[in-house]
Every structure is written in structure tokens, then in C-alpha cells.
Structure 1
Amino acid sequence: MKKPIKKSWMIASALTIGMAVLTPLQAGATSVEPANGVTVQIEQQITGTIKSIGESGVDLKGRDGKNYYISFYKFSEEQLEQMKLVEGQEITVEGGVVESYTDFYTFEIYKKSLPKEVTNEELTKLEKMFNEVKKLQKEFSDDMTEEEFDKKFEEIGKVYEEMYKITRPYTVANWQPPTFEEYMDEFGFAEKNIIIAEDDKKELKAIYDEWLKLEKDDQEEKANEKMEKFYEILNPYLEELHPPQTFEEYLENIELVEIPAETLAKLKSIYEDIPKAEKDYNTDLVDKLYEEFYDIISQFIKPQTFDEYMADNYEFKVSEADNKQLKQLYEEILKLDYKEEQAKIEEKWEAFDTILEPYFKANKEILISASKLIINGQEYLPQ
């Protein structure tokens, strides 16, 4: 059984790919009505429990029973470290509503990450390109074909490249790279008593020094070639540090129905051929082997029961009548052959999602750009 892949996850990735380089529109002083019809006052105060923690924000369950996503983009990394956020913790937030995840990251926030040496003329160019990316991001939709999505994604990438050309010289000039010894210590070889041969260590240091020089000289292509050579030497040690999972270990982590011995042998052979193809940088073969492996093994994965599927994927409860319809559709999907009856499977998943649509809307997260946080009585304001 496979649920049809929608564009939603791709759009989400396109919207967030620029978050580390992109802005929230400054909210006005009036109330905003999000898509789920719940009116939230700008700069209102919300108290709730952290459900999950992301790189730049948290999912919050409010005392009012509503779901929120709280963006911390206005706060510094040092402040976020001081907060020591944990799941299940209660926090109080003051902030303004935004309409989209893309609105969290403003040019003013982006500007804080830029080197001070960037000129006013360059800032003007960067702001124009920044706003162009924001405009392109807002053009993504679930109705786009994969080709349209790829084209839009490519357009955004080109603008980022132009922005990168402006900022890179300053970034390189201010760059304080780790020494070779510091870089190697980060891998943790000493913790596992893995000794790198002296000849290899000597060659790795020489390559690392050459790589640093090429990076500073803005010769990225040659620098990348050096780093590839670096990891060709280092990879055997990395494999010793993180030994690959055996086929048997892989099987322990998934629940399967009984697989015929002949099929099991074929799966093991494919599984062991994949790292060989990866070592040879044969990406076409790697893709082919992965596809063949998952096409075979997916036939033997023990499907979740309807109740398990609902519990794992949705926090909300559905009505008894809807639950009955959903269960019937789910069990009909399980009976279909995912290879031969894809059209029927997609049709049933669409019917499944149509029933759930009102619940998605009712439970949609309200997006808040935080401007003040209170954690364990400690107040935090953006720096």
C-alpha cells in the first residue's frame, strides 16, 4: 500500500529552502483571520505546551485548544540556547499572526546575518532579489505539475545564486576555518580508538590545506574536487566509525510478513550491491537498485491497522460516521495491488483526504511570529 505522493511536501521544501536566507511581512495593528476562521489579535499573548521543536520554531498546543506554530526568527541563536526548550514544556508567547511560513523571515532579519562590509548599493540589490524570491515562493500551489514545480524551483535557485555571488566574497574574507586538527577531531575517531595511518593523515592534511586555499581564492569547482579526494581517503575510516547496517539488522527494524527464501536471498543481494554502486559513484545504478529493492520489500511490509494509521498520522479525532467511512476506504486500499491498481488507489486516497479536509481546516496551525517569550518566569526579547 502506498499513499499517492502529493506536491505539498515539495512546496513545503521550496518555501523553507530560503528560510535561512529569507522574511515575515510585518503584521499590522489589527486582527487577522487565518484560513481556519479563527480570529487572533495581533501581538496577543498565548500560553501553551510545546509539542515539537524545530530549527527555528516550535509547534505549540495552546491552553485554548488551538494549534500554533511559533517562529523564533527574531531571536538570536545564543538566546535560543539559553532558553533550553524541551517538549512538554509550557511557555507564554507574544507575537503577531502571519499568513504563510514564507512570511516569517523578513529582509531585516536576513540583513542581520550579512557581513557589515556589504555596501548600501549591494543591500539594495539583495533586497530586490530577496523580494523576488518571496514572490516566486508564493506562486507555489498544490495544483502545479511536477514540471511546473521544478521550473519554479529552478527560478528561485538562480536568484539565490545571484545573491550568493554578492555575499560570498565578504563571507570568505571573514571566514575563520577550523585547523586540520580541529576539523578531524569533530569526527570522533579518538572516541572509538580508530587510528588513521600516518601516511593517510599526512595526505589528508595536505589536501585540506589546498582546499582552504582554493576556497579563499573563490575556486569552488577545484575546491570541491579536493574535498572529494579528501573523503575518498577518509571513507574507509568513516565506515569503521559508522559500520553500515547489515541486511539482517535492517530487517529487524521493520515489521514484515513471511518472505520466501528465494526472495529474501534476492533482497539481500540487492541490499549489498547498493553500497558498492555508491562507492563507484554510479548514481543511475544506485537509483535502480533502491527502486528494485523497495518494489520487492514493500509487498511484504505488514500494513498498519486502520486505528494504528490514524493514531500515528493525525492528532485529531473524527466523528463516528466519518471514522466508519475512512476505515472502509483504508481497508479497500489494503486489498488493492499497488503496482497494478494505482489509479484506483489514488482515487480512494483522494476520497479519504476529502473526508478529512474539514478536520485539517479546523486543526490548522495559526502562525505566530514571536516578539516576546516567557519561559519559567524569564522574559526574552529579540536582540
Structure 2
Amino acid sequence: MKKLHVEICDVTLRDGEQTPGVTFTREDKMEIASLLDATGVEVIEAGFPAVSAKEQEAVRAVCRMDLGARICALSRARKGDVDAALDCGVDMIGLFAATSDLHIRTKYKKSREEVMAETCAMIEYAHDHGVQVRFGAEDASRTDLKDLIDAYRQATEAGADLATFADTVGCMTPMETFERMQAIRREVDLPLCIHCHDDLGCATANTLVAAEAGAFQLHTTVNGLGERAGNTPLEEVLVVLATKAGINRYDLSQIGALSDLVARTSGVEVARNKAVVGANAFAHESGIHIAALLEDPSTYEYYRPALVGRERTFVLGKHTGRHAIEHVAASLGYHLNDEGVRWVLHEVKRRSEAKCNVTPEVLRDLLCTAVRGREVRG
């Protein structure tokens, strides 16, 4: 991966909160914002102030935390929305308008010219109040390229500081994203932002190829929260930037705690096989794998779990080997002879094949029995 000039705008507190059934309290937002800031995220999108008085209060509270990150709020191209954001004391306003024919026809029932005139007037208004203005083209991925570039140019003339390409329905593939971003970079002078949804499972890949094509601000959410299938996961992007692009300014050791916090406050559990933060991300059962890992962890782990605030675990089951039994027994303070290891391994495999979980309690019972030398018949 080539050297990248990027920053992260995490939108967990806004787009992540648009996950069906998710609501963050003011205290939740402040706690999450604090950890995002500790991680080194440059921009935190704290919310959509015009939604409600409580939302405005929560965004204002995050702004008053005096974090290192710049605080952004979302706004439609409406004076009331912009004023609500300004009243919070934000550093940046993400002012968006739909640019695709489908959205303009369905949502606005106005001409493209009218929509852009109203949008540019609000960009000017926000800009005149001394905040950074990020113009977001909603449904950019289904907008004709000529119309999209024209919208960005008008936003530039109105005073926008950044321009967002939003793959609102997650319909892009990596190659499409790369080509589209390159085309826009050739025509638009503003720093570009990429905002991806994961409807086709391409959000992380799309975000990273957009960065390679010249996108500057990468939008993410913790654990990939977001509407429908979610947004680009922060944890995946940060690990790729560290391991592939040599970007080491983020404190990845905060990722585990951040993931756990967002899972708890959102009520949305992380899939066990989720990259980086899932329970199985650093769990190993195969005897062949565990034997090699005990010699050199890099044999079956591309990066160490400690990098992201996690720990390696060995799961005992059908595929477990004697090395795993010996290692786990020793780590728990049990010293088994060869016969004891064979017996415990046999019991673990037997129970696993019968679809009986080898819980920590069951394992301790087996190890105690093996140490005492008792014969157990199943």
C-alpha cells in the first residue's frame, strides 16, 4: 500500500446511532468520544443537533469536553439545522444534500438547480460563522459523474472546505470506487471524504481503495455500526493503516475497550467472527495451529492481539491437540503426565463431538481428575 495522507472522521455517535434500535445517552456519547479521542481519531461526528433538544444537548456536551479531536455535527441544507449545530460550538458542520436524480425527484420534488442553490446558500451561511464546512453529496454513488462534479464545484465556490462522496446505499465495488474517486480528484480541488455503507460487504475495501485514489478523510464507525448493514468499521481501517500503510499515530491498544464500550452502550453484540474485535479473532482450536503458535505466534496471527487490546485464547474441542492441553493445563497450574494429557485430550474430543461445550468449569474438573489419577467412564 502506498504512503497515504489521510485522517479519520468517526461517525459512531451519529450514523452509528442510526442503527435500528440504538440510542446513546449524553453520558454514552461523552464516554465513547473520550475513548475515540484517546485512540487518536482526528474528527468525531457527535450527532445531528436538529433531531431533538436532547441530541443538541449531547453534542454540546461533547464539544465542551475540550478533546484533541475536532467535533463535527450533521446538518441538512436548512438554516435551522445549521443554527442548531452552531449553537453547540462545533468545529465542523457536515452539511449534506442528495445529488442523485432518484433522491432529488423523490425527496425534494424540486429541480437540481433549486436544490444546489439552497445548499450553497447554507454552505455560505455556515462558512461565514467561522466553522469548517464539509459538503456531503448524499447518494453520490448513484449520481451522474458530471452532475456530481458540478455539485462539488458549486460547493467549493460557496466556501466548502471538504467534499464527501457518500455511498449511501452501499452499492459500490472496490474497482468502481477507485475509478470514481480518481475521476473526481482530477476535477475537484477540495480534500475528498469517503463515507461507505456495507450493504454489499465492501465498505472497508471501498474506503481503503478510495484512500489510495486520493481520499483524505475516511469515515468509520466502531464495530461497523450503522443503518442496515452498517458502515466501515473503524477497527479494520486502523489496523490496515498500521500494518499496510505504516501509519502508526493511532493508539490501537484502545480498540478492544472501545469496541466493548460501544457494544455495551448500543446493545448490539459483535459477531464472534468479526475481524479485529470479535471473540474468535484471536481464538485457536486446531492442534496444528496451536503447536505452531506456541513456537512462533506469527505462524497463524498476522498481528498480535495485544496490538488492539485483546488476548489470545485457545479453545479446546474436536480439533485440539496435546500441545494445547499441555499449555492450558500448565497455565492453570496443573501438571499432567503423558497418561493424564492423553486422557484429558480424549475427553475433550469426545465431549466436543457430542456437541457438549468444554467450559472452563468442565475443563478444570477434567484436569483435577487427571491429576488425581481417577478413572472416569463417560
Q: Same fold (TM over 0.5)?
A: no
| Normalised TM-score (structure 1) | 0.19
| Normalised TM-score (structure 2) | 0.20
Pick the structure with more helix per residue.
1
